[in-house]
Amino acid sequence: MSAASEIYETTIAVEPADIDQMGHVNNVVYLRWVQEAATAHWTARATPADQAHVLWVVVRHEIDYLRPAKLGDTILARTWVGPASRLKFERHVELLRAADRVVLAKARSLWCPIDSQTMRPAVVSDAVRARFSLAE
CATH number at residue 117: 3.10.129.10
Rounded CA separation 32/99 (Å): 21
Residue 100: give the domain boundaries.
3-132
What average pLDDT does the segment 94-122 reach? 97
Rounded CA separation 79/96 (Å): 11
What average pLDDT does the segment 53-66 reach? 97
Q: What tens digit of pLDDT does each residue of 7-58 get?
A: 999 999 999 999 999 999 999 999 999 999 999 999 999 999 999 999 999 9
| pTM of the entire predicted model | 0.91
To the nearest whole percent, how much of the chain has pLDDT over 90?
Answer: 84
Give me the chain's average pLDDT, please: 93
Confidence of residue 63 (pLDDT cuts 50, 70, 90): very high
Confidence of residue 130 (pLDDT cuts 50, 70, 90): confident
For residue 1, the model assigns a pLDDT of: 38
Number of domains in the chain: 1
